[in-house]
Structure 1
């Protein structure tokens, strides 16, 4: 049996949790991937930036092969999303880079192709 892809989903928890829930529902229903994302309050905001990046990289992203970034209207100002993208792009000795897939949510009113 083939190993399922391990996916990290980055999003603004307060505004775009609905999109993550929908994606997770599809993943479960169609047996698409394993979600290895950070849940709310898994990582303390009060830690130093480097510690947060290390925790995300070592405890959550380590076994993932792709990071899906769900982009809503307030995503650009979210420090955790920034840290998750940074950690996905980081190419360390123990943790290699992940692919990044950006999904623009309907709330951003995409009108161009």
Structure 2
């Protein structure tokens, strides 16, 4: 049976652009294990030009998140401090009568410094909890391990959506890293 290539929205901090480009080239372009959606050098050339953050987020949801099923947060040293990462995770976790949330998978880049974005962290297992919505992993060494992690995140959209924590408030500014 052929592996299904999931459409994955890629959320990251632009300081990690080189590592993100490598990840996209290695696992989307060359290994063909997912279809990358998002803004970046190795992804869609569609740039949203505006200083209106509500407009930018709406356009990101319409153009890139709408048809994705898993959000991959590429975790670098300062990813946790970026407001757009928080907003992209918030939009990814939205659910409603006709809206299924994206699966949520964090992948640690070589620059990862031990800190998750808060909204991502809220969806990981806390002390005393048996399970959680999000998962994270080290940088993949094999295509098959990444495919399995993406598929697990995809399945959790239905099996674990009741565990989503997605407060309405969002970061209003980038934090000092």
TM-score interval (norm. to shorter):
0.7 to 0.9
Q: Which runs of at least 4 in structure 1 moved beyond 3 Å after TM superposition?
A: 92-95
TM-score, length basis structure 1: 0.79
Unaligned runs of 5+ in 1: none
Counterparts in 2 of 1:22 and 1:48: CA distance versus 1, 3 Å: closer
Q: Which has the higher strand share?
A: 1
| 1:42 Cα offset (Å) | 2.0
Alignment of 1:88-99 (within 5 A): 88-93=92-97, 95-99=99-103
The alignment covers a number of residue pairs equal to 109
Question: What root-mean-square deviation, in Å, do the aligned CA atoms of Structure 1 and Structure 2 show?
Answer: 2.5
Q: Return the offset for 1:5.
A: 1.0
> 2: distance between equivalents of 1:16 and 1:22?
10
Q: Deviations over 1:18-45 (max 9, x none)?
A: 2211111122111111111123782345
Greater C-alpha radius of gyration: 2
Indicate the residue corresponding to 1:30 in structure 2: 31
Quick one: higher RCO (CA 8 Å, sep 6+), 1 or 2?
Answer: 1
| Residue segments in structure 2 that go unaligned for 5+ positions in a row | 115-177
